[in-house]
Chains A and B, each alone.
Chain A
Amino acid sequence: MSSAQRSIDAIDRAILEATQAGLPIAAAPYAAVAARVGISEDETLARLERLKARGVIRRIGLAPNHYKLGLVCNGMTVWDVDDARVDALGEQVGALDFVTHCYRRPRHPSVWPYNLFAMAHGRTREEVLVKRQRIAELLGPACRASDVLFSSEILKKTGLRLARRAGEEGACSD
């Protein structure tokens, strides 16, 4: 990644800091952000567009609380998949409509044999287990072992916090 891609200037940073706790829920939210940063609404919108085009901003919208939507079961399904096939199969698992995240991650010898992680949510454990079974069918014999780790408690959920700089408050992230 080039340093040009990596850098955001002080005004971009001020905009991200001003929005990290959230956008004002008001008719003209970007005007409110602009006022806080001390620039025009047009400049705020143009800078946010650029940050989005560069991928610094992944999306603008809301994050729902899965639990409050009744999706109380969150199962991290993990799979030990043949290294030669994991990328092709990972793409297929990631494309399943009920899989919200899918990653390849390192194994830890003798402790953790799984290299493919796919997150599934459901209203009940049974729903999650049915989803796990669909993934198992898709992986077939390329998968040597698997497990599912249900979450029993959310201990913390805040997202990325920018470090405080120059006395400013510290943007959220998925």
Chain B
Amino acid sequence: MIDDTDRQIVNALQEGFPLVSRPFAAKAAELGMAEDDLIVRVARLREHGVVTRFGPFLNAENIGGGFCLCAMTVPPDRWDATVEFVNAQREVAHNYRREHELNMWFVLAVEDRAEIEAVARRIEAATGIDVLLFPKEREYFLDMRVPA
């Protein structure tokens, strides 16, 4: 399990990891810990899956790419095969089962916005299930940080 120091680290490192030669030393100083201790703890949090990714997070839109939320109504008897096909698509960045008639919600992340429609049609063709597109029309706020 994670302790209070781990939680402090998760909170402090969600953004603003410094672009300097010894970034862990800089962050460790802010947290009042030794550089080595911080490295060991971050490595352990990563290893245990408390941290899923550590590094630069891209905004694909600023290199011409894009994201699109999509949803499908997958019948129970076709659930496994549909999960398998959808997850196998490289462009599918996240996929969640949700409790609703529209029970599969996934995000397409592509390097070229024009690919979104094509990927959705590919999934429809392979699964025989309509893919509803929910492109973002406006973003009101984005703060991925969660208090640990």
- Chain A residues whose C-beta falls within 8 Å of the C-beta of B55 in the assembled complex: 19-23, 60, 171-172
Count contacts on A: residues with CB < 8 A to the other chain.
Answer: 82
Within the assembled complex, what's the spacing in Å between the Cα atoms of A156 and B140? 25
Shortest Cβ distance from residue A50 to the other chain B in the assembled complex, whole angstroms: 10
Q: Are A161 and B136 in contact (CB under 8 A)?
A: no
Say whether A103 contacts B139, CB under 8 Å. yes
Q: Are A157 and B64 in contact (CB under 8 A)?
A: no
Q: Which residue in A7, A22, A55 is a CB contact (below 8 Å) of B53?
A: A22
Query: A57 contacts B51, CB within 8 Å?
Result: no
Residue of B17, B25, B93, B138 touching A87 (CB-CB under 8 A): B138
Nearest B residue to A89 via CB reads B140
Q: Is B58 interfacial (CB-CB < 8 Å)? A: yes
Q: Flag if A102 contacts B21 (CB, 8 Å).
A: no
**A-contact bits for B43-55, CB 8 A (1 contact / 0 none):** 1011011111111
Q: Number of residue pairs across A and B with beta carbons under 8 Å?
A: 257
- Docked pose: A69 CA to B50 CA in angstroms: 7
Instruction: Tell whether, in the assembled complex, residue B20 and residue A45 are in contact, meaning their CB atoms are under 8 Å apart.
Output: yes
Give the dominant DSSP class at A's interface. Answer: mixed
List residues 80-132 of chain B with CB under 8 A from any CB of chain A: 83, 86-87, 90-100, 102, 104-106, 109, 111, 132
Interchain CA distance A74-B50 in the complex, whole Å: 16
Expressed in whole angstroms, the minimum distance between the Cβ of B52 and any Cβ of chain A is: 5
Taking CB as reference atom, which chain B residue is nearest A47?
A: B19
Tell me whether A68 and B62 are in contact (CB under 8 A): no
Confirm or deny: B14 has a beta carbon within 8 angstroms of a beta carbon on chain A. yes
Residues in B with CB closer than 8 Å to A7 are 63
A68-B50, A154-B96, A160-B93 given; A62·B58 CB < 8 A: no
Does B16 touch A at the CB level, under 8 Å? yes
Contact residues, B1-55 vs A (CB, 8 A): 2, 7, 10, 13-17, 19-25, 35, 39, 42-43, 45-46, 48-55
